[in-house]
Structures are given as structure tokens and as C-alpha cells.
Amino acid sequence: MQTPLISVIMPLFNRAHFVGEAIDSVLGQTFKEWELVIVNDGSTDGSLEVARTYAERDQRIRVIDQPNSGLVAARNNGISAAVGEYIFPLDDDDKISPDALSELFVSAKLELGDVICCETERFGAQQGLLELQPPTQDNMPYGNCVVCSALYKKSDWEKYGGYDANMKGGFEDWEFWLNFVADDKIFYRIPKSLFYYRITPGTMSHKVDKVVKAQLKKYLRKKHYALYKLPPMKLAWSSRLFLVFVKIFQSEQTYRRIRRQLSIADYPTIN
């Protein structure tokens, strides 16, 4: 098996009824140079057995079994074991469209951003587009605008020390992305729904306690204090955004050159 370019990281905890759909969405990718690292976080409902069954069918799937340690630890352990240049987290009850990894990877190779995300569709108990503000240096310190399932380099995860174990309830994603904001890196959102976020009654009722939420925000602001002292968007930041928009309209010739270099023939056309 050749070295994968993208490592999909899937923490798994008591999702025996949903994880198969999540894994199937990875198996159905038009992009083939991936590995799926599933980290079973002490499940008690048969989730581990489901994951192992899939791993027996496809050598690109690896299963790590650990005592229950929480989502952050599971994700960090999975990324630590990953061998791909790029990381794409995917929760055990969500799914992606067949062309998701292909479009994300091409956008990364065209250097449209350091973090490549996409539009998100809800499914399950709620449906419709998840409307998020464009992630910028101005608004990201005050609210997360990027879901956990976005493509980035493993070297950045290593640089930032992984996801912060002090965070939980979704705050781990926000805190992690703030490292990119502090480094003046670019977030690029593909204007297409490639990621599907499952809403269940448990999802809707799972909210961080107000006191805990306040404590997490206080910790986050203390850790990234410099971001809260920045002036409004600088000219340099605006210039970089302009360059991103320029790159979006790169010629078909540039796209084909990159595709030839990567020796991968099934990428979508970049319009």
C-alpha cells in the first residue's frame, strides 16, 4: 500500500448504529490516497467490533483501541499515529460527499488556504445548510466559524501541540483554529456542501454548562490573549485575502499541471 496523502481521523465512542455510515462515506471517495484511523475510546456498545469488521475488508483502515479518555485524547492519539501529510478529522456519526477529499486536497495544493473547509449540511433531526460567518482574524476570536472537519497539514498540528486537553464540548476545535489565526494563516471555505453534520436529539441537548462554558472561554482568552488586543483587520491580512481570491481563478492549465505532478487523475474540475 502506498503512503496515503490524507489521514482521516475518526474518534469512536458508542456509535455502533451510525459509524458504518461514516466509514462508508470515506470508502466511497473518488480520491483514493487516504487512510482512515479509527480510535475507539472505550466503547461499550459494539462500536469496536463494527470498526474492526471494516478494517478487515480494507487495509487503508486502522483501528486503535484505548480506554475511555475523551474526544480530545482520541483525536490527538489518532493524529499522532497518522502517516498522511494532511489531516481531516471526521466524527463517528457524520459523513462526507464522494468528492470531498478530492476537492479539499486540490484546494490545498493550489494553496488557497492553510485550512481548507467547506459548506456544511445538517441531516437527521434537523436539515439544511449550517450558516457560518467567513472565518477572519476579526471574528474568530469571538466565535468559532469552522467545523472540526477541515483539511490541514499534520506539521501544523505538531507545531501547535495538538488539540488542547483542557478544552471540550466543541471548544477544542475553536481553540485549535485560533492557533492558525494567531499565525496569520488563511482559512478557505469551498463554496460547496461536502460535509454532512448529523443532528440527533442528543446533539441538540448536549450543551456545555454555563459555568463550565465561562471557564473555558476565560482559559481560551488567557491562552490567546494577543488575539484580543489586535486592531481591526490589517492591510496585510486584506492583501492575503485578495491573493486567495486571485488563486481561485487560476487557469485550467495550472490545475492540470498540478494534477500531472501528483499522478492522480480523478480530481474534479476547478472552475
Q: Tell me, what's the pLDDT at 238? A: 45
Residue 43, domain member (yes or no): yes
CA distances from 5 to 33, 55, 85, 104, 124 (A): 6, 19, 5, 12, 31
pLDDT confidence tier of residue 258, bands split at 50, 70 and 90: low
For residues 204 and 230, what is the distance between their CA atoms, to the nearest angstrom?
34
**Environment class of residue 128 by beta-carbon count within 10 Å: exposed (0-12), middle (13-18) or buried (19+)?**
exposed
pLDDT confidence tier of residue 203, bands split at 50, 70 and 90: low
Grid cell 481570491 is found at: 245
For residues 75 and 154, what is the distance between their CA atoms, to the nearest angstrom?
12
Residue 84, domain member (yes or no): yes
Q: How confident is the prediction for the chain on average, in pLDDT?
A: 87
- For residue 12, which amino acid is it? L
Per-residue pLDDT tens over the stretch 7-46: 999 999 999 999 999 999 999 999 999 999 999 999 999 9
- Structural domains in the chain (count): 1
Residue 211, domain member (yes or no): yes
Domain of 47 in residue numbering reads as: 6-262
Residue 249, domain member (yes or no): yes
Residue 171, domain member (yes or no): yes
Q: What is the CATH number of the domain that holds 186?
A: 3.90.550.10
Q: Tell me, what's the pLDDT at 236? A: 42
Residue 153, domain member (yes or no): yes
Residue 271, domain member (yes or no): no
